[in-house]
Amino acid sequence: MIKLGLIGHPVAHSLSPRMHQVALDACGLEGEYRLYPVPPLPEGQEELDKLIEAVRIGEINGVNVTIPHKRTVMPLLHELTSTAKSIGAVNTIFLRNLRLVGDNTDAPGFLADLFLRLSDYIKGKMDTPAALILGAGGSARAVAYALSQVGWHVSVAARREEQARELLSSVLQDLHTNPIALHLSADSLRRRIDSSPKIILIVNTTPLGMHPNIQANPWPDSVPIPAGAFIYDLVYNPRETAFLKAAQAAGLPACSGIGMLVEQAALSFERWTGLPAPRLEMARSVDPDRLF
Residues with a known catalytic role:
70
Q: At what angle do helices 16-26 and 258-273 cross, to 10 degrees?
A: 50
Q: Distance between terminal CA atoms of the chain? A: 31
CB crowding 175-187: b at 16 or more within 10 Å, else e? eeeebbbbbbeee
Q: CA dihedral defined by 238, 239, 242, 248, rounded to 10 degrees? A: -170
Q: Are strands 2-8 and 62-65 parallel, antiparallel or unpaired?
A: parallel
Q: Are 29 and 273 in contact (CB under 8 A)?
A: yes
Contact by Cβ (8 Å): 37, 65: no
Nearest CA to 114 out of 269, 10, 255 is that of 255
Tell me the backbone φ, ψ of residue 207, rounded to 5 degrees.
-85, 5
Could you give the C-alpha distances from 114 to 118, 124, 143, in angstroms and in order? 6, 16, 10
Q: How many Cα atoms occupy the beta-carbon half-sphere of 118 within 13 Å?
A: 24
3-state SS class at 74:
helix
Whether the ω angle into residue 276 lies within 30 degrees of 0, i.e. cis, is: no
Q: Alpha-carbon distance 233 to 248, whole Å?
A: 12
Q: Which residues pair with 7 in a beta bridge?
A: 36, 65
Cα–Cα distance for residue pair 257/241, rounded to 1 Å: 11
